[in-house]
Amino acid sequence: MKDLRQTIINYSSKDLQQRKHWYSPAAEAYNKARPRYPKNLIARVVQAAQLSCDSKILEVGCGPGTATVAIAPLGCSMVCLEPNPDFCQFAQQNCEPYPNVEIHNTSFEEWTLEAGKFYAVLAASSFHWIPPEVGYPKAADALEENGYLILLWNMNLQPRYEVYQTLSEVYQMYAPSLARYEDRETQEEILTGLGQIVIDSGQFKNLVSGQVISEVTYTIDDYLTLLNTYSPYLELDPSSKNSLFEGLRQKIAQDFGGSIQLSYVSAFHITQKD
């Protein structure tokens, strides 16, 4: 739990301008390669939070609209905040079929609070970028009485451990600091910790959680595109990254026939304003 809280501090303590443009080099890759939220997970969220066409939702950090397009077909009014200008452009394109969605190029911190106006505040793999002392109180203030905070998460995609062991040989050569494997138990511990942090904020109650496990297959190109959207890879110096990716490309082509099977955990935390 201590490590998780420190990780969140590391993300949220970055300068606001740095956070705004953090994903710009990978915005197109993110829009293409990051997995969507499974329909059965979204269905459970809609039921648990009692969302309907009458629900007014504030989405914090919508990115390219990954979760937005899963909720928007309900017909509910959505006000979506996205500080990154490149993500904002993708979100506007992806949400074009939904006139009920408004995309605003601003951060949650800079957004002018509309107190008590929203039935739900939604954040999909984004709330850890906001300082907790800002995010949770402001989210609570934006909600009507007993309104819902909905946090969605897609955990990092992982190959089978045996596959990871093979790929680890490449990591040890070019980027040993990235040779880490999150097994299912570790990811579930992280999710439990994220839910506890919401309750510990003192702003929310009645935590409801759930998760869905998905299996996907990525080609070499798509897999490398996916890796390039994760922060540790964005921080890697270009020379090391090029060597790492070329090594992974060769290894996957040679040992796994040019594609790689991955699994990922999608999860939700739903709480009510206290």
Q: Could you please report the per-residue DSSP string of 137-153? A: HHHHHHEEEEEEEEEEE
Average pLDDT over residues 85-96: 98
Average pLDDT over residues 114-126: 97
Which DSSP state fits 230? S
* Start-to-end Cα distance in the chain: 23
Q: What is the mean pLDDT of the chain?
A: 95
- Strand 204-219 to 118-124 pairing: unpaired
User: Is pLDDT above 60 for 1?
Assistant: no
User: Is pLDDT above 90 for 8?
Assistant: no
- Strand 56-60 to 77-81 pairing: parallel
Q: What is the CATH number of domain 2-157+182-214+264-273?
A: 3.40.50.150
Q: pLDDT value at position 19?
A: 86
**CA–CA dist 211, 256 (Å, integer):** 29
Query: pTM here?
Result: 0.94
HSE-CB for 138 with a 13 A CA cutoff: 19
